[in-house]
Amino acid sequence: MQVSSLTSARETATAAAGSATVNTAKSKTSALGQSDFLKLLAKQFQTQDPMKPMDDTAFIAQMAQFTSLEQSSSLLSQITAMNGKQDIATANSYLGRMVTVNDGRGGTTTGEATGVEVTGGTPRLVVGDFTYAVSSVVRVAPKPPAPPVNYTAS
């Protein structure tokens, strides 16, 4: 069975899953997912003519597409996780430095980054009494040295 468009593929996948999947097929997703692909493949096996079974090359091509889809999904989740860890490492590298950040009101604030707060996996720099997104940093400079302390003998 050849699928000519995403719409007909979704309709076939919905028919294969029965009435329990009707709500899922009507969801806001606009692309076929892994479960849709498997339902479509199962429907193809159920409706094929026993006297003319599916061509082996077509089956292998569909399995290759499914494997590619699964690997792409896995790669995307790994890249997303790595990106989150990189953001935390970047935030940590700002600690003890003077940073200039966009304050969200059209201006900038400069101060020492004294901490990192991670909320929901997203790091935020503590500068003064406020926290700022790492992406709002516009300048990073080393902390100026403290002035020398002169001790006088009394």
pLDDT at res. 25 = 45
User: Closest by alpha carbon to 32, among 57, 69, 58?
Assistant: 69
Name residues of the chain where pLDDT drops below 70: 1-34, 54-55, 153-154
Tell me the whole-structure pTM to 2 decimals: 0.53
Q: For tokens 């969200």, what's the residue? A: 104
Q: What's the count of helices (H) and strands (E) in the chain, helices before strands?
A: 4, 5
- A 10 A CB-CB count for 115 gives 12
Which residues, other chains included, contact 19 with Cβ-Cβ below 8 Å and sequence gap of 6+? none
The residue written with tokens 């970047």 in the block is: 90
Joined together, the tokens standing for residue 76 give 């995307």
